[in-house]
Copies of this chain bind each other. A is one copy, B any other.
Amino acid sequence: MAEKGVPIKEPKGKLGILLPGLGAVGSTMIAGVEMVRNGYARPIGSLTQMATIRLGKRTEDRTPMIKDFVPLANLDDIVFGGWDIFPVNVYESALNAKVLTKDDLDKVKPQLDAIKPMKAVFDKKYVKRLDGPNKKVGKNKMDLAEQLMDDMANFKKENNLDRIVIVWSGSTETYIEYDPVWDTLESFEKAMRENHDAISSSMIYAYAALKSGIPYANGAPHMTHDIPALEELAKKNNVAIAGKDFKTGQTFMKTLLAPGLKARMLGVHGWFSTNILGNRDGEVLDEPLSFKSKEVTKLSALEYIFQPKKNPELYGDLYHKVRINYYPPIGDNKEAWDNIDIFGWLGYPMQIKVDFLCRDSILAAPVALDLALFIDLAQRAGMSGIQEWLSFYFKSPIVGKGLYPEHDIFIQLMKLKNTLRHLKGEDLITHLGLEYYD
């Protein structure tokens, strides 16, 4: 089964990571990388930094670090930047977010002080519970996009960068209905010049990135580059894209548990999920239209994992309900509570209760970092368009036409690792292993 591998450009020079949104997730990611660079902490949760990959047969015992196996950008070669509607530097932003302790932040204060947000493209119409002063003004949406492209080009020049990637780590925008202007790049560009409502702020960022040939990953649930016009642009410019919505707390847990129940052919009558969270994200999602964006991505996971059409006796009547509740007392902490009504042998009922006392930004930061490094790898390996092998990181993986998204986190991980093996010409792992027995 040996393969030859794929030629990959070496990651020489510096990599810029630009973040639209320098709030809790962005500042936690940046502060963490600075702490790791300086030896104060370890990048727990990051596959690019911590994980190994098994190669060959079990008995060969070959398991290098992923970062030693594929040519990733080194943490020391990263330069951070971003846009935000609040004109405070990353140190202050991280303090406000209350994710990391002041004690930790103070260790890398000079580095964080130095990162100041560029003026953001923002329209309260798409994020109703939020507003801030540090915003661009422009004649129309195309003009705003051009300002962003200038930002990107200047950032690259000023920091003497070899490459840039962009990871959306801003707030969730409201749900927008399909509009025909999304259908082609031409109609989309026309609509931008006409300031059409169907073009949200995040789409302007994505357009600017793809137009500049910059890979783009979307960490929020709203529609961005998963519209035909922007997929067309990505393809045309040979740019890698990935999305959408970082898979962190409850959906992460759900995509563990559901494949496990299905592995054993245990039926599910009902799945009730509630979240309580007290940060800015919780406040934004307390608004019904923003929640709708989220709900769509949150509900779909079970549908795809359980395949009720193929398993109607087990999952045909599954009642799935997801709630998010803004609850200020717990701040950036988040609590995800699930009640799962399952049934086994002869239909006898059982229940599973899970309470995940998690921390939103602590879970999201390494995901954002990995996406930046892997999408840069993909671009250097000549893989353009949708990077399905990065589904592992997303609540709602975008996929090619005619395919269904894969939500099972274990299949996603196998897809990711076998993609890396494939890139390097190693045997893919099937876990057959019959050769050890007679």
On A, residues with C-beta under 8 Å from B are 1, 28, 32, 35-36, 41-47, 50-52, 58-59, 63, 99-100, 104, 235, 252-253, 255-257, 259-260, 263-267, 269-270, 272, 274, 276, 310-311, 313-314, 319, 321, 323, 325, 327-330, 335, 337, 339, 341, 343-348, 350-359, 361-363, 365-366, 383-389, 392, 400, 402-404, 406, 408-411, 413-415, 418-419, 422, 428-434, 436-438
Q: Interface majority SS on A: helix, strand, loop or mixed?
A: mixed
Q: A383: which of B252, B350, B437 is its contact (CB, 8 Å)?
A: B437
Alpha-carbon distance between A1 and B414 when the two chains are bound, in angstroms:
18
Given known contacts A266-B45, A352-B357, A409 and B260 CB-to-CB distance under 8 angstroms: yes
Alpha-carbon distance between A270 and B331 when the two chains are bound, in angstroms:
11
Chain B, Cβ-Cβ closest to A66: B265
**Contacts of A418 on B, CB cut-off 8 Å?**
430-432
Is A44 a contact of B346 with CB atoms below 8 Å? yes
Q: A274: which of B28, B32, B274, B345 is its contact (CB, 8 Å)?
A: B274
Q: A430: which of B235, B313, B354, B414 is its contact (CB, 8 Å)?
A: B414
**Contacts of A387 on B, CB cut-off 8 Å?**
437
Chain B, Cβ-Cβ closest to A367: B264
Is B356 a contact of A344 with CB atoms below 8 Å? no
The 8 closest A-B pairs by CB, nearest first: A270-B329, A256-B260, A410-B410, A41-B346, A428-B430, A353-B355, A269-B329, A415-B431
**Contacts of A35 on B, CB cut-off 8 Å?**
346
Most buried by B among A260, A404, A431: A431
Is B366 a contact of A344 with CB atoms below 8 Å? yes
Chain B, Cβ-Cβ closest to A334: B350
Kindly provide the distance from the CB of A90 to the nearest chain B CB, expressed in whole angstroms.
15
Is A45 a contact of B323 with CB atoms below 8 Å? no
Is A345 a contact of B362 with CB atoms below 8 Å? yes
5 further contact pairs, Cβ within 8 A, besides A256-B256, A414-B414: A50-B311, A269-B329, A346-B362, A351-B357, A419-B434
**Contacts of A437 on B, CB cut-off 8 Å?**
383, 385-388, 400
Q: Show 18 A/B contacts (Cβ-Cβ < 8 Å), sorted by A.
A: A28-B345, A42-B347, A44-B345, A50-B311, A256-B259, A270-B330, A272-B325, A321-B325, A344-B362, A351-B357, A385-B437, A385-B438, A400-B437, A403-B436, A414-B431, A415-B431, A415-B433, A419-B432
Given known contacts A351-B357, A429-B430, A344 and B256 CB-to-CB distance under 8 angstroms: no
**Contacts of A50 on B, CB cut-off 8 Å?**
265, 311, 313-314
Alpha-carbon distance between A350 and B431 when the two chains are bound, in angstroms:
32
